[in-house]
Structure 1
Amino acid sequence: MRARVPLFRWPDLERRGIDDPTNACELLEMYVGPQNEPGDEQFQITVCTPSALAEQLRHQHFLIGRHYLFVRELRPAEVTRWLSDRIAVLEAPTWGELAEKIGRIGLWEFEDYED
């Protein structure tokens, strides 16, 4: 089984845009589902430039980097194309196993969910 990404959303950028692509840290929502099947689930990743990371570290002494993607400049179309390509090559026998692999990139809405 492989995945498809029908939608990327930049919630904050949709409202205000990018002031400086070399100094940006933005949430990206990815809606991902199995190829040739209906439905999708949300994954989130923070896309951050080195200067924005340095700014965050001026205010916090420690920052865990899980579910972060670091880029030289925030170019939304390039980021989404790169992520789409990266997710497209992942494969697993079931959606749950595939979603866990995608969850290594972005926070899966059902991560750690138990019935």
Structure 2
Amino acid sequence: MTGNDLLRWGLAAAAGLGIGGFYFYGLWWTLGRLAASKHPRFLLGAGYLVRVFVAMLGFWLVIRNDVVSFFFTLAGFFLVRVVLTRTLGPPEDKPGNFITNRQA
């Protein structure tokens, strides 16, 4: 293990934090706007596709260089999930109505 390895793994973890932040904050943002949206299916589907595309692109950019770095990226990704789940919670404007049950 050299200094270059530590730098590469640190950058990979930072990339995982960025990818995870984008993915999970985007999920929180999307779910917070579903109830007020005129087209909730489109919002949910488009949000999902954008989040998955960006996440997969980020993971691909990391894994093509080094498999070990990929695991540091995954660790950063899931660390963001834990942190954002505990800090964000439901949206401020409707804490009791985060996901509403709609009668079709």
Identify, as 1 or 2, the structure richer in helix: 2
**TM-score over 0.5 for the alignment?**
no
* TM-score of the aligned structures, taking structure 1 as reference length: 0.27
Bigger RCO (CA 8 Å, 6+ sep): 2
Larger gyration radius, structure 1 or structure 2: 2
Identify, as 1 or 2, the structure richer in strand: 1
